[in-house]
Amino acid sequence: MKGIASTVGKFILQTKLFWGLAALYLVGIFSSPVNRKGLNIFLEPGNQSDVLRQVSNNGIIAVGMTLVILTGGIDLSVGSMMALGSVVCAMLLTEQGWTNASLLAIPILAFVCVFLCAYLVPLIAINLHRGSAKAVEKASSRVRWFSILLGVILASLAVWWTVSQLKTKFGIVGVLIAVPAVGLVFGAVNGLIITKGKMQPFIVTLAMMVAILGIARLLGGSNMAVHPVYTGTNATEDFDILRALLFQVIPVPGIFFLIAVLVFGFVLKVSTFGRYIYAIGGNEQAARLAGIRVDQLKIAVFAISGMLACTAGVLYTAQYRQGKPDAGAGAELDAIAAVVIGGTNLMGGRGSMTGTLVGVLIFGFLGNILQLRNIDSNTQLVLKGVIILVAVLLQEGQLGVLWKQIRAYLKVKEHRREIVAQSRQIEEVR
Amino acid sequence: MFPPIEQTESSNHLALQMRGISKSFGPTLVLKKVSFDLRAGEIHALMGENGAGKTTLMKIAAGLIDDFEGEIYVEGKQHRMASPRDAASAGIAMIQQELSLVPELAVDENIFLGQEKIRSLFLVDRDQQVRAAREVLSPLDFHGRIDLPVAKLRVGEQQLVEVAKALVSKARILIMDEPTSALSINETERLFQVIRKLAKEGVAIVYISHRMEEVIAVADTVTVLRDGQHIGTMSAKAASRREIIRMMVGRELQEIIASGKSETATRKPVLEARDLWLENPLPTSARPMLVQNVSFTVAAGEILGLAGLLGAGRTETLEVLFGLHSGTSGGEVRIEGKEIHLLNPVAAKAAGIAFVTEDRKRDGLVLGAGIDRNAELAVLRTIAAFGIVSADGELELAERTIRDLGIQASGPRQLAGTLSGGNQQKLVIGKWLLTRPRVLLLDEPTRGIDVGAKVEIYRFIGTLAEQGLAIVLVSSELPELTLLSDRILVLREGRPTALLNRAQFSPETILEYASPGGSVQPAFAGMEFAQ
């Protein structure tokens, strides 16, 4: 019996995060007001899909943040990155011809095409040639030239197609290719400065957060605080897909979020890339000494984080019908909070994408519950802060250590008191 | 549980009592109910092999480890040592094995760190500090300048500063952990005079050392620990060298040393290193070069030992070979005749070099990951297709490593951090053997592991040499070095001073060439020491 109890206990302890989410969900059901028809508002499909829609932007950023934090880094620039994404997206959608946005996005897109081909094709070729290192070495220079050529062809195609789009305006496909490419490059710049300049991620991404916000404002011209996007009038209609509901319930941004979780969760679990991320976060020096290209991997991770943040910017534009340089204010902190609630260690090396999914949902449902109860937004902030602290305290298991220390301290106090009492007794006897 | 013992009026009262001290790091119990008594005015040597728990026990006394079981009494009163501050207020000071000086601060500033001499309000009285520092340092035979940053001193002098730092704290209980590991023979002798004088004044001294001769020369009492247990305490005069070794090792030394080295000089060299050098990253230091003029060859199946005191540049030499200091280091390195560039670990790995680092926890393992994840780390590409790791391949690698190295584990997924020191070390070696290296660099391969695992690793290193690996071995334990090596290259302050063959191996010879001011073989005399 005891064995069963302890296994069950262990199971609950390991999955406590899910129980937390379940408990929160129950709180949601029971605390929810009831509408006129007598239905629970919290449980309404509309409300549930609303929560998914609301969390998806934060969620997509949190996916990238999870990768960064797992390597032991942090990315504070994601909020500004999202704002940049939303501004570039809105401008591409609404303005014809060569604008600041297209001048930025099209060269970057061409560069990304060449670079990714030159980098990824040889990797695939090496995997095809597995087993014979000599053959790979021989083939490698030919493969490299071939892949660069392929990249150039692809890049010219991309440029030709995007420039042809400029005559009218960018459609949904155009922005979904061009804007993430911008994020990829800015993220890679983050990683480059951090690894080659041997600087702290905190400082570098803090500086980039400020700088990118400036870039986002400069792009649109200083007198343009908001770039409205009205599909059907000043932008193509197909962009509306990004704010649609699939089967009337599943919001499209939510699908983007879930796909990001699935893809990068899979990458973390089974790929060499994922293993290296955990190894770097767990012990960077050991990883470096094992002959792992730590710098390259870190740059890739920051690039992915930037790419996802800019993708979130596109979704923001669709959702709020505007591109806005202030779109991402505080987004980096929400993402970090969700990742940390999900049990990912800020020191790196420990955590999972499922954790982040749950963390994002906890954050989302909490906001939803408080909104349904009509709780003052300032009180909401306080409650959110408390929830973050409690969640992390539970996750890290620091409560136990704290308790142990207090107990040890009390024990010594008691012991001293006993000694004093004893010596008094002895004196009294005398 | 353990009543405090009444304080007697004799001069040799108990200054420190530790009762039933237990401490575990994760699942490994490093101290098992150890009791330790220290009398005022005695020099008490604490002996034991690496990993026996000496340093841990003393760190507990000095408040550097606060999470332990057991009780501590200072002068008969119970203390809870939760921080170095508690220990200092109880009159305990510790000279730690790792130097804990601030390199950019001057000698006197280091000595009085945290207890600065104050002139008025907040101003530090440097003049008085320098004077006081000189007073403490001159009996220690210290000749360096006191107003210079300690980074400009050689390691031996830094160690003296460390000693001085403990002396000015006016501690009644002084713990010294390997204080002589970088000192010359003269400096050691002067240190002993100071220690004896302190003891006469009633200070209780704990002296941790490996060097048997030192202990017998200076100590009054000897306590031996083995595998975290108190084995025995005796008077130093009554104890024989042989008996102490038996207590430390648990069996006669001869049993362990199973020799029988084959002659390897005729074989072809695998590793040739010429004129390795490494710049000192600290620009203010007295030594602009950490490694200089180091050349050697290692044949297939040969084990070359690198000997030297703390700071002699042994580890740094290995790091240069592995490409860890690209840009600030250089030299010509050939493997099987082919020149390689000391660019980075990736290149070194590709060239067939494997590096088992000194600190397996810091540099060798991802402690929070399983055996499987650690074993595969250097060869992950080989079990992956299109970036997806094969689960079968992973399991196969982990099981092969566990089997070949004889790692005791509950399974391939056990976390590396929960393995014992010996098994962790096997895992690091196993990880590197999976890369099929030609050259194996071993840095302190048996540091902090128990005797049983040590013997297993010795045998394993022997087998690897027989299989034709060229091995470079760094070890601070002379018995280990003389047991395993075919030849020994002695380094002193970054330069080679002697190349010894097996017939010339003896602790005395090695120490003579390793100590500052000692002799230099004619072959190396050309590269004189420019100070």
pTM (2 d.p.): 0.81
Q: Say if residue B529's pLDDT is above 50.
A: no
Tell if the CB–CB gap between A127 and B367 is shorter than 8 Å: no
Is A130 an 8 Å CB contact of chain B?
yes
How many angstroms away from the CA of A270 is the closest CA of chain B?
6
**pLDDT 10s digits, B44-65:** 999 887 677 888 899 899 888 8
Q: What is the pLDDT of residue A223?
A: 62
Is B80 an 8 Å CB contact of chain A?
yes
Q: What is the pLDDT of residue A71?
A: 94
Amino acid at residue number B467: Q
Tell if the CB–CB gap between B366 and A286 is shorter than 8 Å: yes
The torsion angle over the Cα atoms of residues B2, B3, B7 and B10, rounded to 10 degrees, is -50
Position B429 confidence tier, pLDDT thresholds 50, 70, 90 = very high
In this structure, of A272-276, A408-412, B271-275, the range with the lowest mean pLDDT score is A408-412
Cβ atoms of residues A254 and B328 within 8 Å: no
Q: Pull the structure tokens for residue A12.
A: 């609950």
Mean pLDDT across B206-229: 85
Tell if the CB–CB gap between B322 and A289 is shorter than 8 Å: yes
Block residue for tokens 């060869």: B379
Q: Say if residue B4's pLDDT is above 50.
A: no
Distance CA B16, CA B77 (A): 9
Chain B contacts of A290, Cβ < 8 Å?
Answer: 345, 349, 377-378, 431
Report the share of chain B in percent with pLDDT over 90.
19
The torsion angle over the Cα atoms of residues A334, A335, A338 and A342, rounded to 10 degrees, is -160
Tell if the CB–CB gap between B389 and A272 is shorter than 8 Å: yes
Tell if the CB–CB gap between A285 and B345 is shorter than 8 Å: no
Q: Say if residue B5's pLDDT is above 50.
A: no
How many angstroms away from the CA of B338 is the closest CA of chain A?
16
DSSP of A295-334: HHHHHHHHHHHHHHHHHHHHHHHHHHTEE-TTTTTTHHHH
**Residues pairing with B124 in the sheet:** B118
**pLDDT 10s digits, A71-128:** 999 999 999 999 999 999 988 888 877 887 788 888 888 888 888 888 777 777 766 6
Tell if the CB–CB gap between B380 and A276 is shorter than 8 Å: yes
Tell if the CB–CB gap between B387 and A283 is shorter than 8 Å: no
Nearest CB among B324, B364, B387 relative to A272 is that of: B387
Position B122 confidence tier, pLDDT thresholds 50, 70, 90 = confident
Average pLDDT taken over every residue of chain A: 84
In this structure, of A53-62, A256-265, A291-300, A384-393, the range with the lowest mean pLDDT score is A384-393
Tell if the CB–CB gap between B377 and A408 is shorter than 8 Å: no
Distance CA B125, CA B118 (A): 5
**pLDDT 10s digits, A136-160:** 556 667 777 787 888 888 888 888 8
Q: Say if residue A240's pLDDT is above 70.
A: yes
Q: What is the pLDDT of residue B254?
A: 47
Is B395 an 8 Å CB contact of chain A?
no
How many angstroms away from the CA of A405 is the closest CA of chain B?
8
Q: Are strands A322-323 and B43-47 parallel, antiparallel or unpaired?
A: unpaired
Query: Between residues A129 and B525, which one has the greater pLDDT?
Result: B525
- Going by C-beta distance under 8 Å and a sequence separation of 6 or more, which residues neighbour residue A170? A92, A93, A102, A162, A178, A236
Tell if the CB–CB gap between B387 and A285 is shorter than 8 Å: no
Say whether B498 sits in a helix, a strand or coil: strand
Distance CA A311, CA A88 (A): 11
Handedness of CA A220, A224, A225, A229 (dihedral sign): negative
Closest CA to B513 of B322, B305, B341, B363: B305
How far separated are the first and last CA of chain A, in Å rounded? 57
Distance CA A143, CA A136 (A): 9
Amino acid at residue number A402: L
Tell if the CB–CB gap between A289 and B80 is shorter than 8 Å: no
Taking CA atoms, what residue in B is nearest to A129?
B385
**Residues pairing with B57 in the sheet:** none
In this structure, of A90-99, A278-287, A347-356, B194-203, the range with the lowest mean pLDDT score is A90-99
Position A129 confidence tier, pLDDT thresholds 50, 70, 90 = low
Is B413 an 8 Å CB contact of chain A?
no
Taking CA atoms, what residue in A is nearest to B380?
A272
Q: What is the pLDDT of residue B257?
A: 46
Average pLDDT taken over every residue of chain B: 83
Q: What is the pLDDT of residue A133?
A: 52
Closest CA to B498 of B329, B330, B312, B318: B312
Q: Say if residue B7's pLDDT is above 50.
A: no
Q: What is the pLDDT of residue A137?
A: 59
Mean pLDDT across B169-193: 84
Position A134 confidence tier, pLDDT thresholds 50, 70, 90 = low
Q: Is A196 exposed, middle or buried (0-12, 13-18, 19+ CB in 10 A)?
A: exposed
**Residues pairing with A311 in the sheet:** none
Q: Say if residue B97's pLDDT is above 80.
A: no
Distance CA B498, CA B492 (A): 9
Interface test with A, best of B374, B386, B427 (most A CBs within 10 A): B386
Is B376 an 8 Å CB contact of chain A?
yes
Q: What is the pLDDT of residue B489?
A: 94
Position A272 confidence tier, pLDDT thresholds 50, 70, 90 = confident
Q: Say if residue A164's pLDDT is above 90.
A: no
Chain A contacts of B388, Cβ < 8 Å?
Answer: 270-272
Block residue for tokens 């650690």: B374
Tell if the CB–CB gap between A286 and B365 is shorter than 8 Å: yes
Using alpha carbons only, give the angle A229, A235, A239 rounded to the nearest 5 degrees: 85
- Going by C-beta distance under 8 Å and a sequence separation of 6 or more, which residues neighbour residue A267? A273, A274
Taking CA atoms, what residue in B is nearest to A275?
B373
**pLDDT 10s digits, B444-491:** 888 777 777 788 888 889 889 888 899 999 988 888 888 889 999 999
A342-346, A373-377, B332-336 — which one is most confidently predicted on average? B332-336
Tell if the CB–CB gap between A279 and B373 is shorter than 8 Å: yes
Q: What is the pLDDT of residue A41?
A: 80
Q: Say if residue B85's pLDDT is above 50.
A: yes
**pLDDT 10s digits, B279-319:** 888 766 667 888 999 999 999 889 999 998 888 889 999 99
Distance CA A190, CA B7 (A): 65
